[in-house]
Amino acid sequence: MGLLQRYIAKSILTSTLLVLLILLGLYTFMDFVAELEDLGKGEYHLKEAASYILLSMPGRIYELLPIAALLGSVLGLGNLASQSELVAMRAAGVSVQQINKAVMIVALCLMVVAVFVGEILRPPLEQQAREIQSTAQTGTVGSRSEHGFWTRDGLHFNHIRSIQPDGRFADISIYEFDQQHRLRVVTKAQEAYYEGTTWALSDVVQSTIDEKGVEIRSIAHAVWRSQLNPGMVNIVLVPPEFLPIWSLLDYINYLKDNHQAAAQYEIAFWMKIMMPISSAVMVFLAVPFVFGSLRSAPIGGRILVGALVGITFHLLNQSFQHLGIVFGILPWLTAALPTLVFAILGVFLMRRVH
């Protein structure tokens, strides 16, 4: 990479970081104000709210990265253009393609940042944030709703009322059906904890149903063999967009093996695949803003247009996630279509620049 390309890349990265910090500060303030409404619920006080906001910051960075990439690139290139530095470069023989190479280097850097934040940093911190919030407010790690959550394991349907801070289940019901879909066994337990590859149940009441009637027996301890493990339970409790790719793949396979709907998790998987590419596309779009029809517009106007494009992209991404689930659109197409549309728009605008 030449000296001028490093200079352009540094200018764009600096502007992108500045925009990201401004947006992060704005959204963090709004999140904090929203959390103030929950102060006083259980043991949820200012310290817990601040911890929750702090641990949720990587998630905000991940969400804001495409918009920050577009605005930062427009701002960085716009500053170079307003100071006639790009004009001097062009006069010295630097082509738009060479400038575009510097822009794409920035795009690759942002793709690496997106993967690191989204797959390594965000998932454990987001889970920890939710545990702090839920434990402080309710005394439990969390549940899918106030009535607990359901899972399916072959012919077993399991209801788990809540999860304790140490990982134990509380108030579990296991409904076992036969091949003819008739209810045969109902098992209720006060607690369950994971041992090796199985769950240990305590204070068990089991009802066996057959043609002769219902037989009820009480057992102090029992073993529950299930495909469900603590890692999968965390997946059930945490929204799919907060999970790493490998956890999503495991849970998608689990859902398919048990003939359950996996569209929501498949869309989340493909959205995470497309996220780094989306950041790169946003950076690529900045070049036509500077060399295209907006080159004579003031920097404020270019930033405004960039903000509108970024917001439009974000809204399309969010809308297509819901439309994909409602209308059964292919998950990869649901995730890729907004990025593909903006990539085509970028190529079209670049052709007009040439």
Residues 10 and 37 in one domain: yes
Residues 67 and 122 in one domain: yes
- Out of 202, 226, 250, pick the residue that ends a domain: 226
Indicate whether 195 belongs to any domain: yes
Indicate whether 89 belongs to any domain: yes
Helices (H), the chain: 3-36, 46-82, 85-91, 96-116, 122-138, 230-237, 245-257, 263-291, 299-327, 331-353
- Following DSSP, what letter does each residue of 98-149 receive, concatenated? HHHHHHHHHHHHHHHHHHHIIIIIHHHHHHHHHHHHHHHHHSSSB-SSTT-E
pLDDT score at 306:
73
The per-residue pLDDT for range 162-188, each reduced to its tens digit, is: 777 667 888 899 999 998 888 999 999
pLDDT score at 185:
92
Domain harbouring 214, CATH code: 2.60.450.10
Residues 217 and 267 in one domain: no
Could you say which residues of the chain have pLDDT below 50?
Answer: 294
Indicate whether 59 belongs to any domain: yes
pLDDT score at 13:
92
Residues 183 and 74 in one domain: no
Residue the block writes with tokens 């307003």:
82
Strands 183-195, 213-224: parallel, antiparallel or unpaired by DSSP? unpaired
Residues 112 and 170 in one domain: no
Query: Rounded to an integer, what distance in angstroms lies between the CA atom of residue 135 and that of residue 129?
Result: 10
Q: Convert 300-315 into a string of H (helix), E (strand) and C (coil).
A: HHHHHHHHHHHHHHHH
pLDDT score at 19:
92
Residues 178 and 324 in one domain: no
Residues 128 and 165 in one domain: no
Residues 212 and 93 in one domain: no
Q: Tell me, what DSSP letter sits at residue 84? A: T
- Out of 173, 202, 226, pick the residue that ends a domain: 226
Residues 65 and 159 in one domain: no
Indicate whether 336 belongs to any domain: yes
Strands 198-210, 183-195: parallel, antiparallel or unpaired by DSSP? antiparallel
pLDDT score at 294:
47
Query: Rounded to an integer, what distance in angstroms lies between the CA atom of residue 337 and that of residue 317?
Result: 9
Q: How many CB atoms lie within 10 A of CB 263?
A: 17
Residues 13 and 129 in one domain: yes
Q: What's the CA dihedral at 75, 81, 84, 86 to 10 degrees?
A: 120
Query: Rounded to an integer, what distance in angstroms lies between the CA atom of residue 115 and that of residue 240?
Result: 16
Handedness of CA 254, 226, 140, 147 (dihedral sign): positive
Q: What type of residue is 158?
A: N
- Out of 169, 203, 226, pick the residue that ends a domain: 226
Residues 175 and 213 in one domain: yes
Number of domains in the chain: 2
Strands 149-153, 156-163: parallel, antiparallel or unpaired by DSSP? antiparallel
Residue numbers of the domain that contains 287: 3-138+263-353
The per-residue pLDDT for range 37-90, each reduced to its tens digit, is: 888 888 888 999 999 999 999 999 998 999 898 888 888 888 887 787 877 887
Indicate whether 16 belongs to any domain: yes
- pTM recorded for the entire structure: 0.74
Q: Pull the structure tokens for residue 151.
A: 């899972």
Q: Pull the structure tokens for residue 158.
A: 């399991």
pLDDT score at 188:
94
Indicate whether 188 belongs to any domain: yes
Indicate whether 233 belongs to any domain: no
